[in-house]
Amino acid sequence: MAVLVTGGAGYIGSHTVAALLERGEQIIVADNLQQGHREAVLGGKLYVGDLRDGEFLDTVFQENSIDAVIHFAANSLVGESMKDPGKYYHNNVYGTLSLLEAMIRHQVGKIVFSSTAATYGEPENVPIDEHDRTLPTNAYGETKLAMEKMMKWFDVAHGLKYISLRYFNAAGAHASGRIGEDHSPETHLIPLVLQAALGQRPHISVFGDDYPTEDGTCIRDYIHVSDLADAHVLAVDRLREGGDSAVYNLGNGTGFSVKQVIDIARWVTDHEIPAVMEARRAGDPAVLVASSERARQELGWNPSRAKLEDIIGSAWAWHRNNPGGYNKNG
């Protein structure tokens, strides 16, 4: 039986495809290539199409024996979601509805879902656990929460089993050097810092140094993308073993400030990386750090690439060798 990976040409999706291939799974990727890169799909069969197209999904399910889905395909920029929430409801929420309906039509009852710490909003407790309040501060997080709730009601009505994985800050690149992070536009801290190290931008902007943290900059929990990928493989195993629906946080449990990230990147790259203090960015909580105890206990997840210098080091190897990302040579 094959695993269908929607959004498998994207950043976290492509690393998960790589992890599934490494253990000999049959893979089907469905991606509209709006954000994803054909070159990032290291194996399996790629279908180019949109999840909102039910006929496209019928073809994918009819032509393959699929027993589980891993669902990444979505828009995921917090800032953009505040300017164009309709795009997020249409692609993320309606896309997921169309996918779940197709799964029901084709009797596929297992799904692993790419969710986010943005479902929590401003945290009540640090570290955050899965029982904490979910009150998103942006439309992106709200759509991911709506998608989780949709799966819950499909479980009640149709017995669809889902595992929702709420990631904190994904970073790093595959050990092979063949795939890495390439967003357009890029908005994430670590790739932007590395672009500054490469001289592709004059400096890194630090969005706010007046937060209630030790050095005044925001604290985040950075997790290696291949550790995230491993968690998806474990989640598929759990569903195949008859596991029940569940939600898990995925992070390292250690927070680093924006200034600390820049300092570590200076050390890793041996470049100066000028930093310029700027105003806060709308919608940024001061501190987001995960408790991933539940994933460790129930999935047997054990992130093995936890050191931030190694995470940044793997991203640096990718950026240095692919200065223009997948499509260009810099």
Counting contacts by CB under 6 A, is residue 163 touching ligand UFG?
no
**What whole-number distance in Å separates Cα of residue 184 and Cα of residue 209?**
26
Alpha helices in the chain (DSSP H): 11-22, 54-63, 78-83, 85-88, 95-105, 139-158, 189-197, 225-240, 258-269, 293-294, 308-321
Q: Both tokens of residue 100?
A: 């779940």
Residue of 47, 88, 120, 140 with catalytic role: 140
Site string for ligand UFG, 73-92 (x = CB under 6 A): ---x-x--------------
User: What's the min distance (Å) between Cβ of 303 and ligand UFG?
Assistant: 16
User: What's the min distance (Å) between Cβ of 255 and ligand UFG?
Assistant: 11
Nearer to ligand UFG, 61 or 113 (CB): 113
Nearer to ligand UFG, 76 or 143 (CB): 76
Catalytic residue status for 140:
yes
Three-state DSSP class for residue 23: coil
Counting contacts by CB under 6 A, is residue 288 touching ligand UFG?
yes
User: What's the min distance (Å) between Cβ of 261 and ligand UFG?
Assistant: 7
Nearer to ligand UFG, 218 or 295 (CB): 218
- The count of chain residues that interact with ligand UFG, using the rule CB under 6 A, is 21
User: What's the min distance (Å) between Cβ of 256 and ligand UFG?
Assistant: 10
Counting contacts by CB under 6 A, is residue 33 touching ligand UFG?
no
Q: Which amino acid is at 172?
A: G
**Which are the contacts of 263, defined by CB distance < 8 A and separation ≥ 6?**
none
Beta carbons of 269 and 217 less than 8 angstroms apart: no
User: What's the min distance (Å) between Cβ of 193 and ligand UFG?
Assistant: 8
Q: Among residues 188, 203, 294, 320, which is the contact residue for ligand UFG, using CB under 6 A?
A: 188
**Which are the contacts of 255, defined by CB distance < 8 A and separation ≥ 6?**
126, 219, 220, 221, 287, 288, 289
End-to-end CA distance of the chain: 40
Site string for ligand UFG, 215-254 (x = CB under 6 A): ---x-x----------------------------------
The packing angle between helices 225-240 and 11-22, to 10°, is 60
Beta carbons of 74 and 91 less than 8 angstroms apart: yes
Closest CA to 66 of 117, 29, 24: 29
What residue ranges bind ligand UFG (CB under 6 A)? 76, 78, 116-118, 168-169, 187-189, 192, 204-207, 218, 220, 258, 281, 284, 288
Question: Residues with catalytic annotation?
Answer: 140
